Amino acid sequence: MSVRETVAPAETEALGAELTADLRPGDVVLVRGELGAGKTTLVRGAARALGVSDPVTSPTFAIGHRYRGSRVIVAHLDLYRLAGLGDEDPGLLEDYLGPESIAFVEWPEQGGSELEGARMLVTLTHRGGDRRRIEVSEVPQRRPGAEGRAIDGRQAGGERQVGSGERRAGGEGKAGGQHGEGGPREGTGR
């Protein structure tokens, strides 16, 4: 696990760009953090590094955006408004997850088994003002039939659990701020 602290939105974007060095098409990055923690700011930096020139905005009201990068499709999902995928169309995430894209998923705890193959977990925490603590870890991969165990046989623990169980009501808005995701906006990157 790697832990870094940023003191400005530009540093959070730069860290997002650094994360892309090891990503390949088909990878999924889970992005956790409270409202206004800088999740979309981090994703914006990653998208820029992957060649996206369109504005990168929070897809809260559209579930996701797809952007064309220089070598890959960049998918940005925000599952904030979902209480889970059980009552949703089974194909809801199919356009965003796949071998031709790199996907960044905000509020991943709502994604359930659809996100089991995720490669990386990034957790952003407010530290006051524009300071953010950012933890980056690989997500242990499970073998079929290896209940509760990572590929290397160690017990899969807290890193695999990606959610806090927090649920949100349908009409809540997001907190703003320079690091934050801002208010309602239509997606421009489809």
Residue 51, burial from CB neighbour count under 10 angstroms (0-12, 13-18, 19+): middle
Residue 129: which residues within 8 A CB-CB, separation 6 or more? 7
45, 17 Cβ separation under 8 angstroms = yes
pLDDT at 176 over 70: no
Pick 70 or 187 by higher pLDDT: 70
Reported confidence tier of residue 63, pLDDT bands at 50, 70, 90? confident
2-138: CATH homologous superfamily? P-loop containing nucleotide triphosphate hydrolases (3.40.50.300)
pTM exceeds cut of 0.75: no
For the segment 157-167, what is each residue's pLDDT rounded down to a tens digit? 333 233 333 33
Which H/E stretch holds residue 76? strand 73-78
Closest CA to 39 of 49, 27, 48, 30: 30
For the segment 32-51, what is each residue's pLDDT rounded down to a tens digit? 999 999 999 999 999 999 99
For the segment 112-140, what is each residue's pLDDT rounded down to a tens digit? 777 888 999 999 999 999 999 999 999 87
For the segment 67-108, what is each residue's pLDDT rounded down to a tens digit? 999 999 999 999 887 766 666 666 778 889 999 999 999 999
**Spatial distance between the Cα atoms of 37 and 58, rounded to a whole number of angstroms:** 13
Indicate the domain borders of the chain: 2-138
Q: What confidence score (pLDDT) does residue 131 get?
A: 94
Average pLDDT, the chain: 77
Q: What confidence score (pLDDT) does residue 86 get?
A: 60
